[in-house]
């Protein structure tokens, strides 16, 4: 790559917004009944309890539920806070993609009907695309994101 095209590439990269990461801090506390309380501080009233050893599954389910509730109620989804020392929970890939689509629709002030027009489809299709419990195909969500100028990038890392 020549100097001019290298410089253009760097400028293009610097104009991009930072990638959105959906990994929320979670707190685990054992209560007086020997149950583990699972709390997401970024979401008011987002808590559950589970048996010891089931914290990860309970936290993941709770996160999907609370994100889905925000979408159903058309509320904004808070950015994950920075809390040192707190473990983080990431939703499944398809859920994260659907949350990104919902947030892009909100940022563009698009209702389900308006988004359906953009995609040349019906409102029910858009409703299912942002329904976190509906098993959409990830390529459908990618297409919708691309319509709004967004690109889905999946990162793989060691656990």
Residue 49 has pLDDT above 90, yes or no: yes
What's the rounded Cα separation, in Å, for the pair 32 and 116? 50
| Structural domain contains residue 78 | yes
Q: Which of 60, 90, 120 is where one domain is finished?
A: 90
Tell me, yes or no, whether 53 and 96 share the same domain: no
For residue 135, being part of any structural domain is answered with yes
Which of 33, 68, 90 terminates a domain? The answer is: 90
Helix axes 112-119, 138-147, angle to 10 degrees: 90
Of 90, 116, 145, the last residue of a domain is 90
Say whether 69 sits in a helix, a strand or coil: helix
Tell me what pLDDT residue 17 has: 62
What is the tally of structural domains in the chain? 2
Judge whether 111 lies within some domain. Answer: yes
What is the pTM assigned to this prediction? 0.85
Q: What are phi and psi of 107, to 5 degrees?
A: -60, -30
In this structure, are 71 and 112 located in the same domain?
no
Find the CATH number of the domain harbouring 150. 1.10.260
pLDDT in tens, 76-85: 999 999 888 8
Q: Look at residue 99 and tell me if it is in a domain.
A: yes
Sheet with 27-30: strands ordered across: 27-30, 36-39, 47-50
Number of helices (H) and strands (E) in the chain: give both, helices first.
6, 5
The parent domain of residue 33 ranges over 18-90
Does 28 fall in a domain? yes
- Express each pLDDT in 95-133 by its tens digit: 999 999 999 999 999 999 999 999 999 999 999 999 999
Residue 159 sits in the same domain as residue 99? yes
Q: Both 85 and 149 in a single domain?
A: no
Q: Which own/partner pairs from 15-19 qualify as long-range (CB within 8 Å, at least 24 positions apart)?
A: 19/153
Q: Let me know whether 109 and 150 are in one domain.
A: yes
């Amino acid at each position: 790559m020549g100097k001019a095209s290298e410089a253009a590439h760097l400028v293009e990269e610097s104009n991009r917004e930072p990638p959105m990461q959906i990994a929320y801090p979670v707190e685990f506390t054992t209560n007086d009944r020997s149950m583990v309380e699972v709390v997401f501080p970024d979401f008011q009233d987002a808590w559950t309890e589970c048996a010891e050893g089931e914290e990860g599954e309970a936290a993941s389910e709770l996160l999907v539920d609370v994100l889905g509730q925000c979408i159903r109620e058309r509320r904004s989804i808070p950015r994950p806070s920075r809390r040192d020392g707190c473990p983080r929970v990431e939703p499944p890939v398809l859920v994260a993609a659907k949350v990104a689509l919902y947030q892009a629709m909100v940022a563009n002030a698009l209702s389900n009907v308006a988004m359906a027009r953009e995609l040349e489809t019906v409102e029910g299709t858009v409703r299912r695309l942002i329904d976190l419990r509906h098993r959409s195909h990830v390529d459908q969500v990618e297409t919708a994101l691309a319509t709004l100028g967004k690109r889905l990038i999946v990162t793989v890392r060691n656990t």
